[in-house]
Amino acid sequence: MGLQAFLARRVITPEGIRPAAILVEGERIQAVVPPDQVSNRYTIHDFGEAAILPGLVDSHVHINDPGRAEWEGFETATRAAAAGGYTLLVDMPLNSHPATTSVAALQAKRAAAQGRCRVDWAAWGGVVHDNQNDIEALAAAGVPGFKCFLIHPGIDDFTMVNEQQLRLALPHVARTGLPLLVHAELPGPIDRATEALATADWSRYSTYLQSRPDEAELTAIRLMLSLCREFGFRLHIVHLSTSEALPELSAARAEGLPVSVETCAHYLHLAADTIPNGATLYKCAPPVRSRENCEKLWQGLRDRTIDSVVTDHSPCPPTMKRLTEGNFRTAWGGIASLSVALPLMWTEASNRGFTLLDLAEWMSAGPARLAGCETRKGRIAPGYDADFVVFDPDREFIVTEDKLHYRHPVSPYLGETLRGVVKATYLRGSPVFAEGEFPGKPAGREYTAKPTH
């Protein structure tokens, strides 16, 4: 690869957006210099008016491999990621089989990923009801942190944890110094609401929304904040959907608790008011809530209570969405969006006065911090991996199946016009997506902070 220079009028660096040349030697960024200071030893890639952002990091993806690769898989997920501008995915420990709750399961995942990834990846470890003694071993084996569910996760081979089981796990988590990512919904409010809706019309989105009230998230977050105060572990709330929790999360941060928060592109783009009845493509948990709630989440990003925006890319075979029945009770929950999350976010963010600098913070630097790779990924700066997205923020496109690239091209976004086109994605100095093509062999590697071999 040798010496390369990547030029554009809008390079998104930690110091701001400016015309620049990114100088790359091998796989790493050497320097970011004014565009007229590139010596003739460099191979020049000039992207003109386009923007170059740091490669996006998605710390919340369900790749479902090994074991359920018919739902997604390393090849298809990382291909969709490359097309969407992502250069690192962190895989959730459930929906693969085995679930990543032991070192043996982590090794099975490493074997499954071998030679099949177009972008870099890492894997969260799982905390389930009975694996307290695997937690520190998983950390030693190189996971960047852990994920747990406070409610049944929709699949039987990954168990939820109750408060008592959490109390057994948290001393181990705290000792690792790694974050615990929590699906924060408590079953109580959901069970009560669902019981009251036994005879309701489950083809209506409003029925599904009522069955997962804000209170379920709010009470779960309160429980986790009090445990965080007690055990001193790093707490991360995944896919925050209710804006009602923002004041308490903000107060917890002000108090100095080590809490971080993510939300997802779908909570920032969709609103319950416009979801058609029977349209189970929009089902996810926690649910997409009201338009007013959505605007409050944007306010949470503005005031930095929310650190990052992820996809929660969670595909399944189309039959599991039960599209012909349109029943929100029985359909699988999950929205896949790796290939379109950046334009979705840019469409919404640019309308609200945010810049590409904000997007880089939410979709690169923030998730990189969570995944413990913030010294190598998520910024365009010397010493970092040469991971970039070349993005045309001024062009629009219509979402069609051929632009999705994951295994099953189902999406609630089909037919929408979005702003911003991913022109190319570079992984450690090499193109992994360029104008609709995927050049080269899969060269993605596992990112681990610790040596594992």
351-355: which pairs have CB atoms within 8 A and are 24 or more residues apart? 352/298, 354/301, 355/17
Smaller CB distance to Zn ion: residue 90 or 252? Answer: 90
Tokens of 415: 């037919």
Alpha helices in 200-281 (DSSP H): 205-211, 214-231, 246-254, 265-269
Site string for Zn ion, 222-241 (x = CB under 5 A): --------------------
Task: Provide the minimum distance between the beta carbon of 201 and Zn ion in the complex, in angstroms, as a whole number.
Answer: 27
Which 384-443 residues touch Zn ion, going by CB under 5 A? Answer: none
Give least dist CB 79 to Zn ion, A: 20
Residue written as token pair 């009975």: 130
Position closest to Zn ion via CB: 312
Q: How far is the CB of 398 from Zn ion (least distance, A)?
A: 27
Q: Which of 423, 14, 36 is closest to 23 using CA atoms?
A: 36
312 vs 387 by CB, closer to Zn ion: 312
Q: Which is nearer to Zn ion, 98 or 232 (CB)?
A: 98
Q: State the minimum distance, in angstroms, from the CB of residue 187 to Zn ion.
A: 17
Query: By C-beta, is 321 or 428 nearer to Zn ion?
Result: 321
* Nearest Cα residue to 316 out of 63, 93, 108: 63
For the CB of residue 145, give the shortest distance to Zn ion in the complex, in Å.
14
Structure tokens belonging to residue 120: 């870099």
Beta carbon of residue 40, minimum distance to Zn ion (angstroms, whole number):
48
339-377 burial, b if ≥16 CB within 10 A, otherwise e?
bbbbbbbbbbbbeeebbbebbbbbbbbbbbbbbbbbebb
Please compute Rg for the chain using Cα positions.
Answer: 21
Query: Least distance to Zn ion from the beta carbon of 202, Å?
Result: 22
The CA distances from residue 116 to 3, 89, 102, 159, 315, in Å, are 27, 13, 22, 28, 18
Q: What are the helix and strand counts (H, E) for the chain?
A: 13, 17
Q: With respect to Zn ion, which residue has the nearer C-beta, 312 or 358? A: 312
Q: Which of 257, 378, 215 is nearest to 308 (CA)?
A: 378
283-312: contacts with Zn ion (CB under 5 A): 312
Binding to Zn ion by residue 91, rule CB under 5 A?
no
Please list the residues that pair with 56 across neighbouring strands.
86
The count of residues interacting with Zn ion (CB under 5 A) is 1
Nearer to Zn ion, 158 or 388 (CB): 158
Of 95 and 165, nearer to Zn ion (C-beta) is: 95
CA distance to 140, 174, 371, 385, 428, per residue, from 376 (Å)? 20, 24, 11, 6, 10
Least distance (Å) from Zn ion to the CB of residue 94?
A: 8
Restricting to residues 307-346, which ones interact with Zn ion according to CB under 5 A?
312
With respect to Zn ion, which residue has the nearer C-beta, 310 or 421? 310
Cis ω for the linkage preceding 35 (within 30 of 0) = no
Residues contributing to the site for Zn ion (CB under 5 A): 312
